[in-house]
Amino acid sequence: MTQTGWLQRTGLRLAIHAAGSDGPALVFQHGLCGDARQVAEAMAGAAPQRWACVECPGHGASEMDPNPSIASFAGHVAALAETLGGPVVLGGISMGAAIATRLAVTRPDLVRALVLVRPAWVTDAAPPNMAPNAEVGDLLARLPTDKAQAVFADSATARRLATEAPDNLASLKGFFTRAPQDQTARLLAAISADGPGISPADLNALSIPTLICATAEDAIHPLAHAEALARLIPQARLIHLPPKGRDKPAHLAALATAMHQFLKEI
């Protein structure tokens, strides 16, 4: 995976990454505090499927937005889709899935199908499953890194996730070494409190093929969210992936297989 260009928008310089050469145009977005490497990892098994992503402000090589939000991030993704001639297949992981559902509702002219992987939102802002991210963001905003990490390691949240969702715990621990600290804190606080800004009725009105990929043993991306989206979106297909924390290669292989089949059918 190599960076392929820049998107200049709202005064920000945002990194664009793309790869592959075949299949329908696919714009696929990373999760909160992730970057294009997460997308490349998810897409590796689906090669040579072509894909593109724009690293959201404050992620990867993209400049930080002082007021990050899912809505503003969605605007940048819409701009990328427009450069590809739209409509595109639009998808993403976690926050990327929330961006995708927002754009399917607000810019239906740009979206021909959806791929929602481990969604962390349905419609509501600040869902309870995002509380661990907000907790880490608060610690990073108030304390030096070492102290923040120690306080979190001794928290009830860390103890719970060590048993229920160790992969989530590993991701949260990674935030303590992400630089710059103040930017990470701001992203975690703002996005955890945010939502896609759409309603259940909006989702029910969608008339596009939708693949929803869910997994168990994931407290940040609850299976119940994926199931709710599958009930609300009329043409949704729900599949269950092996838990990422238990067997990451199997998880990625199952995701690649599901995406390959879905993209071949639409």
Same domain, 57 and 166: no
Same domain, 253 and 169: no
Q: Which of 190, 209, 232 is a domain's end point? A: 190
Each residue's pLDDT tens digit, 61-103: 999 999 999 999 999 999 999 999 979 999 999 999 999 999 9
Q: ∠186-191-195 over CA atoms, to 5°? A: 160
pTM of the model: 0.97
CA distance 193 to 94: 14
Mean pLDDT of 125-149: 98
Same domain, 119 and 79: yes
Each residue's pLDDT tens digit, 213-238: 999 999 999 999 999 999 999 999 99
Q: Which of 136, 164, 190 is a domain's end point? A: 190
Q: Token digits for 68?
A: 């990050």
Same domain, 100 and 230: yes
**Is the pLDDT score of 14 beyond 60?**
yes
Same domain, 102 and 49: yes
Same domain, 118 and 172: no
**Is the pLDDT score of 200 beyond 70?**
yes
Same domain, 168 and 229: no
Same domain, 106 and 229: yes
> How many domains would you assign to the chain?
2
**Is the pLDDT score of 144 beyond 80?**
yes
Residue 13: CB atoms within 10 A of its CB come to 12
CATH number, position 100: 3.40.50.1820
Same domain, 260 and 162: no
pLDDT > 70 in the chain, percent: 99
Output the pLDDT for position 47: 87
Q: 1: pLDDT confidence band, cut at 50, 70 and 90?
A: low
Structural domain harbouring 239: 2-125+198-265
Same domain, 51 and 154: no
Q: What are phi and psi of 116, to 5 degrees?
A: -110, 110
Beta strands (DSSP E) in the chain are: 2-9, 12-19, 26-29, 51-54, 88-93, 111-117, 210-215, 236-241
Same domain, 30 and 84: yes
Same domain, 94 and 30: yes
**Is the pLDDT score of 199 beyond 60?**
yes
Q: Which of 136, 170, 190 is a domain's end point? A: 190
